[in-house]
């Protein structure tokens, strides 16, 4: 926006099942909203629920649900998927987020990317965002791997370091401890040449978990 100040930047949030659920026109004067996907579009309801299905207060993080005439009614010939994703007319997006006091929606990753470390929870997105600010890191992606029936998960990180830069695991641990709670610092770091992604640029977490299982010894 600084380079092209005359350009109007507009962002909307939606899914195939619930198109254009929120909208915002970004302004460089209000930088606090640059991470937001906007307020609910006209005639669209957006709510954030906890794991028990209770509506959360503003600023509290949970799963984003959408209700509108534009939301799908059901999946074709898939009653189980419909049951899993619909709740009294609300569509469960699988996205994590919160609504601020002014009604702006902020997304913070996917529900399936939540990691449970002995009852304490974090998300891949939170960890990735911290490490991607490390100047020696080109790409970074954290996943959760089952550690044991009673232990929950452990965090495994895959790292691509910048060209012609030396980077050690000790440096990665030290960086994480500066900016993350202790339990959010990955247990293991692996340097790889590329992170598997789909044609649309989404990380193939399933492939990363398969790689992790080959590299780690004690996984359930």
Q: Which of 184, 131, 121 is nearest to 152 (CA)?
A: 121
Mutual orientation of helices 124-131 and 169-179 as an angle, nearest 10°?
110
Position 217 pLDDT exceeds 80: no
pTM comes to: 0.74
For residue 85, pLDDT beyond 80? yes
Distance CA 89, CA 25 (A): 28
Note the pLDDT of residue 148.
66
Tens digit of each residue's pLDDT (9 = 90 or more) over 4-36: 778 888 888 999 999 889 988 877 657 788 889
Determine the number of helices (DSSP H) and then strands (DSSP E) in the chain: 4, 13
Name the least confident of 105-114, 130-139, 189-198: 105-114
Q: What is the CATH number of domain 9-110?
A: 2.30.38.10
Query: CATH homologous superfamily for 118-215?
Result: ANL, C-terminal domain (3.30.300.30)
- Pairwise CA distance, residues 179 & 131, whole Å: 9
The whole-angstrom separation of Cα 105 and Cα 113 is 19
Q: Which two tokens stand for residue 148?
A: 């044991």
Listed in order, strand segments (DSSP E) in 57-193 are: 62-67, 86-87, 90-99, 105-110, 114-117, 120-123, 137-148, 152-161, 188-191
Residue 107 has pLDDT above 90, yes or no: yes
- Sequence ranges of the domains in the chain: 9-110, 118-215
């Amino acid at each position: 926006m600084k380079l092209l100040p005359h350009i109007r930047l507009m962002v909307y949030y939606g899914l195939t099942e619930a198109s254009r659920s929120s909208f915002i026109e970004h302004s460089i004067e209000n930088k606090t909203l640059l991470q937001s996907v906007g307020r609910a579009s006209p005639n669209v309801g957006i709510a954030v629920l906890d794991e028990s299905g209770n509506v959360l207060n503003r600023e509290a993080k949970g799963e984003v649900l959408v209700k509108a005439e534009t939301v799908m009614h059901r999946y074709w010939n898939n009653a189980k998927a419909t049951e899993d994703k619909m709740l009294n007319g609300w569509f469960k997006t699988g996205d994590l987020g919160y609504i601020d006091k002014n009604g702006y929606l902020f997304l913070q990753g996917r529900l399936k990317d939540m990691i449970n470390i002995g009852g304490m929870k974090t998300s891949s997105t939170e960890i990735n965002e911290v490490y991607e600010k490390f100047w020696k890191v080109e790409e970074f992606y954290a996943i959760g791997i089952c550690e044991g029936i009673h232990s929950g998960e452990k965090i495994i990180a895959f790292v691509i370091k910048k060209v012609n830069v030396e980077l050690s695991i000790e440096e990665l641990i030290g960086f994480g401890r500066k900016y993350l709670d202790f339990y959010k610092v990955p247990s293991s770091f692996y340097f790889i040449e590329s992170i598997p992604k789909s044609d649309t640029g989404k990380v193939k977490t399933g492939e990363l978990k398969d790689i992790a299982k080959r590299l780690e010894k004690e996984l359930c």
